[in-house]
């Protein structure tokens, strides 16, 4: 039980740390990773309920653990990617000096960021799960790996629901007066990324609320 206790208290840190993307937008008391996860899990549960031949329990579990690596890895955003010099080599050592910039990262910047982010998150996941009983850590790692690979319908759905959850929160901040959020770009990006028919419907609802 000691290992489980330590894991739970460790992950509990995600209840108090504001998400980096909102801090970049100077939002006071920003949404935490835990709050984001809560809303994502509910979106996955309620919207996912419409799907046939779909393992809803697996998808909800995937949503719950998708960001736990952030206990040990930086919460890197697309704004950090915009800060990457696309003509220079980019490694994990450059993260510390990375200056986030608003806007949309280029394909090269996105690829460079994805590679380093995956490396850091994989190590963080190993670290956070290291002391848990094997039957739990294997289960978590497998779910997380599936989520990252996005090959199964459940993983693809959770990944897109994650994007929709971020869009929803961003648009709520925008409606609250945080006009620094580039809402046109965000909505546009959503329309490029999301292809799940139920989540497209949800995306349209968000857009109509603006």
Partner 1 sequence: MTKKHYLTEEGLEKVKNELKELIQEKKKKTKDGVPEVLHSEDLNPEYLDFRQDLRLLERRIMKLDEVVKNAEIIKSPENKRKVELGARVIIEADGQEDQFTIVGSLEADPAEGKISNESLVGRKLMGKKVGDKVTVASKVETVYEIKKIEYQDEV
Residues that bind partner 1 (CB under 8 A): 55, 58, 104, 106-107, 110-111, 113-114, 135, 149-153, 156, 183-185, 187-189, 191-195, 197, 200, 203-204, 207-208, 210
Tell me which residue of 21, 166, 162, 36 sits closest to 79, measured CA to CA. Answer: 21
Nearer to partner 1, 30 or 194 (CB): 194
Q: Cβ of residue 128: shortest distance to partner 1, in angstroms?
A: 21
Q: Is the distance from CB of 82 to CB of 109 less than 8 angstroms? A: yes
Nearer to partner 1, 15 or 101 (CB): 101
Signed CA dihedral, 53, 41, 74, 112: sign only? positive
Nearer to partner 1, 11 or 59 (CB): 59
Nearer to partner 1, 30 or 199 (CB): 199
Q: Is the distance from CB of 73 to CB of 130 less than 8 angstroms? A: no
C-alpha span between 199 and 48 (Å, rounded):
9
Give me the count of residues in the chain. Answer: 210
Q: Cβ of residue 169: shortest distance to partner 1, in angstroms?
A: 17
Nearer to partner 1, 13 or 189 (CB): 189
Q: Cβ of residue 187: shortest distance to partner 1, in angstroms?
A: 4
Q: Cβ of residue 16: shortest distance to partner 1, in angstroms?
A: 28
Q: Is the distance from CB of 128 to CB of 72 less than 8 angstroms? A: yes
C-alpha span between 104 and 45 (Å, rounded):
30
């Amino acid at each position: 039980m000691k290992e489980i206790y330590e894991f739970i208290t460790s992950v509990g840190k995600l209840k108090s740390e504001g998400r980096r993307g909102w801090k970049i937008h100077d939002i006071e008391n920003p949404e935490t990773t835990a709050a984001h996860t809560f809303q994502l899990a509910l979106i996955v549960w309620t919207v996912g309920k419409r799907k046939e031949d779909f393992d809803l329990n697996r998808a909800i579990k995937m949503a719950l653990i998708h960001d736990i690596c952030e206990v040990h890895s930086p919460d890197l955003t697309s704004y950090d990617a915009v800060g990457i010099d696309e003509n220079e080599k980019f490694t994990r050592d450059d993260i510390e000096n990375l200056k986030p910039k608003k806007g949309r990262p280029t394909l090269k910047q996105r690829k460079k960021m994805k590679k380093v982010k995956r490396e850091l998150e994989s190590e963080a996941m190993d670290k956070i799960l290291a002391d848990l009983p094997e039957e739990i850590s294997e289960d978590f790692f497998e779910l997380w790996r599936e989520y990252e690979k996005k090959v199964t319908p459940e993983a693809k759905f959770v990944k897109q629901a994650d994007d929709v959850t971020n869009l929803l929160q961003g648009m709520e901040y925008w409606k609250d007066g945080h006009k620094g959020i580039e809402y046109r770009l965000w909505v546009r990006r959503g329309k490029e990324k999301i292809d799940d028919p139920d989540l497209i419907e949800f995306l349209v609802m968000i857009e109509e609320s603006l």
